[in-house]
Amino acid sequence: MAAQKRLEFGGHALVWAGDWSPAGARAAISGAARAGYDYVEVALLDPWSVDTAMTKDLLAEYGVRAHASLGLSFETDVTSTNPAVVAKGDELLRKATDVLHALGGTELCGVLYSALGKYPGPASKESRANSVSAMQRLGDYAADKGITVSLEVVNRYETNIMNTGLEGLAFLDEVNRSNVLLHLDTYHMNIEEDGMEKSVLAAGDRLGFVHIGESHRGYLGTGNVDFDTFFAALKKIKYQGPITFESFSSAVVDKALSNALCVWRNLWSDSDDLASTALKFMKERI
């Protein structure tokens, strides 16, 4: 059984650090603690490189928890019609789940169901079916470790499986696992949704994870996202779960993720000011 959810705030590790070396992990975890966050969201793009003992010690030192996210590459794409590629994706997702469990985390989120990248066309029935099957396998594997899996709905340039919350909910119906939920991100919603409320209300208690990001990935409230409507919708459904502030700048770079997300601009340089300002912004609205 997955752990009981509660409202909590976290910061994505890339707000503070571009890698998970001892220095990078300390920068991210201490930064989250200084800003007043409950947890840090660790990007497990390469979970084999994560020193879990070191990370656990730092989490304990600073009194911060860890959740985790990742996106698949085309080499680990579980929508692939090549069984060897799907097997690599399964292996990566299981390893990420193992690392998260070792860190005491209970929330795995992100683009776990396809590659994080631009596809040349719509998903075929076979590709979609492969994705559904992979999420069923991941859900079962994670359930044994008390972990909730939340599938992030992203824009059309980053997946061809689901681009709106309603499409995500239809996908969840096919997966049909109680610990596999929806993950909404305001940055992507601002591109794809017809408003910031409908998908939140439709998701209800199937909304498992939230990313808060501005339209340009910088300081909250300085772009085009209608945050007031979004947070009001969260309150309407009495949302309980993680809310991660996510912001990317060329000032802090993980090369693989920054290139995948096309992070070319330096929108901020003071991680601590960015993070503390964001937490105040979010709490004022929920």
| Strand 65-72, strand 107-115: pairing | parallel
Q: Which helix (H) or strand (E) holds 199?
A: helix 198-203
How far, in Å, CA of 168 to CA of 150, rounded?
10
What pLDDT shows up at residue 58? 98
How far, in Å, CA of 231 to CA of 67, rounded?
21
Q: Is 152 a catalytic residue?
A: yes
- Averaged pLDDT, groups of 10, the chain, 286 residues long: 80 94 97 98 97 98 98 98 98 98 98 97 98 98 98 98 98 98 98 98 98 95 98 98 89 67 73 95 97
Domains in the chain: boundaries: 8-285
Report which residue type is found at 3. A
Q: Which residues contact 14 (CB under 8 A, 6 or more apart)?
A: 43, 246, 247, 248, 252, 254, 257
Q: How far apart are the first and last CA of the chain?
A: 28
Q: Are 249 and 267 in contact (CB under 8 A)?
A: yes
How far, in Å, CA of 20 to CA of 190, rounded?
30
Catalytic residue among 107, 152, 193, 214: 152
How far, in Å, CA of 101 to CA of 205, rounded?
23
Q: What's the CATH number of domain 8-285, 3.30.300.30, 3.90.180.10, 3.30.70.20, 3.20.20.150? A: 3.20.20.150
For the record, the structure tokens of 231 come out as 């947070």
Coil, strand, or helix at residue 245?
strand
Catalytic residue among 41, 158, 193, 246: 246
pTM: 0.95
Q: Is 158 a catalytic residue?
A: no
How far, in Å, CA of 120 to CA of 102, rounded?
37
What pLDDT shows up at residue 252? 65
Query: Which residue from 279, 244, 242 is spatially nearest to 5, judged by alpha carbons?
Result: 242
